[in-house]
Amino acid sequence: MNVLITGVGREGQMGEALAAAFAADGARLALVDRTAAHVDARADALRAAGAEVHAYACDLTDDAAVAAVAASARSALGDVDAVVCAAGGFAMTGPVDAEDVAAWERQIAVNLTTAHVTTRAVLPMLRRTRGALVYFASASALPGAKVGGMAAYVAAKSGVLALMHAVAADERAHGVRANAVAPTAIRTATNVADMGPDAAYVEREEVARVVRWLCSEEARSVTGQVVRLGA
């Protein structure tokens, strides 16, 4: 299985756990992150354990750059079977009338634009393999969530869900399936530093397990679905 994962950067974050889980299954990996030193470190660790891993540093909001990465990954691995759009980031932006416009635009860029640009670049490969896309939304984008002070993040993650549903509908005829996970706070190094070790978290390994299943043949008939994770 050939898998491309975005957002595989710093140690202790979600992308690291995703890459490790797929590598443990024997997948051949293309890992993408904005920062070369981070993605190279994650790739080196997996290669030391015997995995085939190709690392790419890329601005995932740059359409041409992402297209070039997709072409390079295809040259290295062949067409990919699954793509996990895990790139993103969280920030509180405050009340809507007080939030900084640049902060709003950044949340849309890192969470939604990255997913959109990646999708456009990888769809030709996924159509050939009848593969899977998995997007990272958030429980905060689901009905009933508390969203005060984070309108930008919630809008971006709601957009990710809309993108997923559109891709699932558009690509059904091509055999491509698209789904999303919507976790509460994940136990990442950043979240533990910000929120403390005793906050309510969903474990990285649990999220990775669900993502792997959504990419598997067992989930061949599953598309257009959102899996909420965490309490």
Beta-bridge partner residues of 2:
28
- Tell me, what's the pLDDT at 221? 96
Its domain, for residue 62, covers 2-229
- Tell me, what's the pLDDT at 231? 82
Predicted TM-score of the model (pTM):
0.96
pLDDT digits (tens, 9 = 90+) for 125-154: 999 999 999 999 999 999 999 999 999 999
- Tell me, what's the pLDDT at 101? 93
pLDDT of 188 higher than 90: yes
CATH assignment at residue 149? 3.40.50.720
- Tell me, what's the pLDDT at 99? 86
Phi/psi of residue 20, each to 5°?
Answer: -65, -40
101 burial (CB, 10 Å; 0-12 / 13-18 / 19+) is: exposed
Q: How confident is the model at residue 118 (pLDDT cuts 50, 70, 90)?
A: very high
Q: Which of 56, 135, 153, 201 is catalytic?
A: 153
How many domains does the chain contain in total?
1
pLDDT digits (tens, 9 = 90+) for 151-161: 999 999 999 99
Mean pLDDT of 60-84: 98
Active site residue 201: no
pLDDT digits (tens, 9 = 90+) for 35-51: 999 999 999 999 999 99
